[in-house]
Amino acid sequence: MIFSYFTILIMVNYVKKESLWNKDIKRDTGISLTQSLETDVLIIGGGITGITTAYYLKDTNLKVTLVEQNLVASGVSSRTTGKVNYLQETIYTDLEKLYSSKVATNYLESQLFAINEIKRIVKKEKIKCNLEKVSSYIFTNKKREITKIKEEKNFLQKQGIEVKAHTHLSLPLAIQYAISVRDTYVFHPLKYLLHLKKVCEAKGVSFYENTRIQKMEKLDDGYLCYTDKYEIKANKVVLACHYPFFLHPFLMPLKVYTEKSYITAFKTKNYQTETYITNTLPCQSVRFHKDNTSYMLYLSRSHQLSNHLDEKENFNEAIRGAKRFSKKVDYIWENDDMMTLDHLPYIGYLEKENPNLIIGTGYNTWGMTNGTLAGHIISNLIMGKKNSFSSLFNPLRTNHYFYPGMSLYILGVTAKGYIENKLWKNKSWYSKKVEFLKKDGEDVAIYHEGKKEYIVYSKCPHMGCSLIFNEVEKTWDCPCHASRFSLDGKCIKGPSSYDITYKKK
C-alpha cells in the first residue's frame, strides 16, 4: 500500500497535465487588438457563452466584437467533461423544494431547449464534434440519498420522461441506487466551439485574442472599455468571462462560490454510450469519448475552492481514484465552476433600466447547456426579442428563493481560504523552491528554478487574497476566487484583470 501511494506521487509528474480536448487540435495564435475601435456589441470572454452569443448575432446588422484575454475556447469551456445533459444531479428536486414545481419544470424545459439547439447547430453548420447520443445515470452509495433520487425520478416521470431505476452499474463504482434517462449527449467541446468561431468570422464577427479588458467606464450610451493600450467604445457589453469582474455593486463574491474538480482521462477497451454522476460532493462523474482512440473521463476530488489548498495532494488523489479503472492515466487537469446560491444561473441585465450591460455566469457545473442557453437569451435581449426563459435566470430576480445565511457561509469559506493561505505559507507541502517575503515594502513570492528567480507580488489584484503556489502546474493561484497567474506573473485566468509581475522600484 505504501509503495503504491508513493508510486502515484511520482506518477503525477509523468501524466500530461492538460485537457484531453487539446489533443490533435491545431489552432493559430490568434489576432490581438492593435488599435482603438467602436462596436455595437462587445463580448468579453471567448468560451461557450461568448461564442454562442456571437453566433446568434452574426446575421444581424450589428457590429459584433469578441475579446478574449487568452486564446478563444482555451479556458473553462476547454476543461469541461463535455456533457450535454438535462439529468443534472437532483436539481429538479432542489428547485421544486426551494421554489415550486413550475420553476423546476421551466428549468427542465430550458435544458431540453439548449440540447436541441446544440443538435440543430451541429447539423446546420455540419460540425464534426463527436456529438453522440448516450444514456445518463445518477447514482449514490449512501442510503440516505436514495429517497432524494427517487423524488427526482418521480418529478421527471411526471414531465413525461422515461426513467429507469437500477441497483447495479456496469462500472466498478459503489452503488445503493441509481436512475437513468435517455436522449442525453456528449461531444468534443473544443471542436464545436472552434468551428462556431469560424462560422462567426465568416459572417463578419471580429475576434481579438490575447486581449484583456482591464477596466470599464460607463457612458450615457454604452461603455468605454480599456485594455493596457487601447480603448473599445461599445453600445452594449456582454460579460461572458466565467467569474465576471467590474461588478462591485452586484456583490458577486456574496452570490457565487467556486467549486473545483479534477478530471483524468485514460485509454479504455470498455467503451460505453453512457454517462454517470453522483448527486452529492465529493462528486464522481464518468463519460467516454471516442475518436481514433477510446477514452474514459473520470471527474473526482470536487470541493469548495478554499477547502483543499495542497494541489499536489489533489492531483495525486485524483490519480489514485482513476487507478481503479486503469493502470495508466494519460491526462489530468482541473476545472473551476461558478456555483450560485439558488441553483440557477445569472443570465441577463445587471442593472435596472440599463440595457447595455448583460451577464452570463453561474452555471453550476452544467456549462454546455447553460452557456448555450445564455447565448440565446443574451442575443434575444440585445435584439429586443422575448425569451421564455429570461425571467427565470434574471440576475436581478427577487421573487425567487434567497437565503442570507448562504451569503454568510460563502463569506466564511472565502475568509477561511484568505486566512489559511497566510498561515500556511511555510507548510510542509510547499516546495522548498518557494519563499514569501517583503521586498521594498511589498509582499512578494519567489520561485527558484536553478539560478533563475521568478518574483511576483503575492496578493491577488482582484480582492487582495494571498496567493498560493501550485507546484503541479507551476502557477500562482488565488484560493478565494480562482484567479490564476503564470510563473512570471501574467494573469492567465480571472476575475483578476491585472498581472502580478514584480516591478523593482
pLDDT tens profile 364-381: 999 999 999 999 999 999
What pLDDT does residue 463 have?
78
pLDDT tens profile 61-83: 999 999 999 999 998 999 999 99
Length of the chain: 505
Instruction: Examine the pLDDT at 11 and tell me if it is beyond 90.
Output: no
- Residue scoring higher pLDDT (342 or 11): 342
Residue-wise DSSP of 178-247: EEEEEEEEE--HHHHHHHHHHHHHHTT-EEE-S----EEEEETTEEEEE-SS-EEEEEEEEE-SSS--S-
pLDDT tens profile 210-256: 999 989 999 999 999 999 999 999 999 999 987 766 555 555 666 78
Location of C-alpha cell 484531453: 20
pLDDT mean across residues, the chain: 89
Stretch (H or E) spanning 491:
strand 491-493
What pLDDT does residue 495 have?
85
| Among 130-144, 400-414, 431-445, the range of highest mean pLDDT | 130-144
Instruction: Examine the pLDDT at 498 and tell me if it is beyond 90.
Output: no
pLDDT tens profile 281-325: 889 999 999 998 999 999 998 888 777 777 888 889 999 999 999
Report percent pLDDT > 90 for the chain: 63
Instruction: Examine the pLDDT at 188 and tell me if it is beyond 90.
Output: yes
The predicted model gives 11-26 an average pLDDT of 86
Predicted TM-score (pTM) of the model is: 0.91
What pLDDT does residue 204 have?
97
The predicted model gives 133-137 an average pLDDT of 98
d(Cα 283, Cα 298) in Å, to the nearest integer?
Answer: 10
| Among 86-90, 336-340, 411-415, 482-486, the range of highest mean pLDDT | 86-90
The predicted model gives 2-6 an average pLDDT of 45
What pLDDT does residue 399 have?
53
Confidence of residue 5 (pLDDT cuts 50, 70, 90): very low
d(Cα 75, Cα 480) in Å, to the nearest integer?
Answer: 18
The predicted model gives 53-58 an average pLDDT of 98
Q: Are strands 294-304 and 163-166 parallel, antiparallel or unpaired?
A: unpaired
Residues 6 or more apart in contact with residue 384 via CB below 8 angstroms: none
What pLDDT does residue 464 have?
82
Lowest mean per-residue pLDDT among 150-159, 194-203, 323-332: 323-332
What pLDDT does residue 6 have?
47
- Residues facing 259 on adjacent strands: 304, 337
Instruction: Examine the pLDDT at 8 and tell me if it is beyond 60.
Output: no
Domains of the chain: 31-79+191-253+344-402 (3.50.50.60), 406-493 (2.102.10.10)
Confidence of residue 420 (pLDDT cuts 50, 70, 90): low
Question: Could you tell me if 243 and 361 are in contact, meaning their C-beta atoms sit under 8 angstroms apart?
Answer: yes
What pLDDT does residue 387 have?
96
pLDDT tens profile 452-494: 888 898 899 887 888 888 888 889 998 888 889 999 889 888 8
